[in-house]
Amino acid sequence: MSKMLSVGCNRKLARDIGILNLTEQATCPGKTPLCTRVCYSKKARMYKAAVAKRAVNHALSVLPGFPEALAAEIQALGCTKVRFHEAGDVYDQAYLDKLVRVCLLQPQVCFLAYTKSGHLDWSRRPANLKVYWSIDMTSPCIPPPGPTAYLVAKGESPPTGAVTCVHTKDRHYCGEECVTCWLGTQDVYFHQH
């Protein structure tokens, strides 16, 4: 299988964090009107290589050997943290089960996902997979129990008790200086950008 992870490509994330991306929108069963309109990952469409890599990853994700191949790549790259989906989401139960298998194969690695796929069965999620239920003002329902990530639209007030991402665009921050999301214990919010 080809290289699936991106490492060091997002200036906001620590340099050793692997990122698995899929084709956005096509793999987002819980997309809302607001997230469709302001989709962060659409910005990468100008880069043909990123679009192609996401499509390849999506195609690889349906193959039976996907969990073992991704786990081997994580080990080979020496990633201590892996973020699932800056682009895309957990699109069905079979794919979620494969991601769980990856986490079980790499118990020393911390995995992080923001998702709108609360309709799936997450009960077998291992402790090293931190999941945030991603909601915004156009979300149709209340998220399942657990930490929540809020998208705060322009002009909207942030939720009480949630902390914000305070990175700067010119330096690595998430997973290096701030590990709040990687702990998976506190609600967070992100301003629309």
Tell me the per-residue pLDDT of 148-172, one tens digit each, with 9 for 90 and over. Answer: 888 887 888 888 888 886 655 555 4
Tell me the per-residue pLDDT of 36-80, one tens digit each, with 9 for 90 and over. Answer: 777 666 666 666 888 899 999 999 999 999 999 999 999 999 999
> Stretch 18-35: mean pLDDT, rounded?
80
Amino acid at 130: K
- pTM for this entry: 0.86
Domain boundaries along the sequence of the chain: 5-191
Q: What is the DSSP letter of 157?
A: P
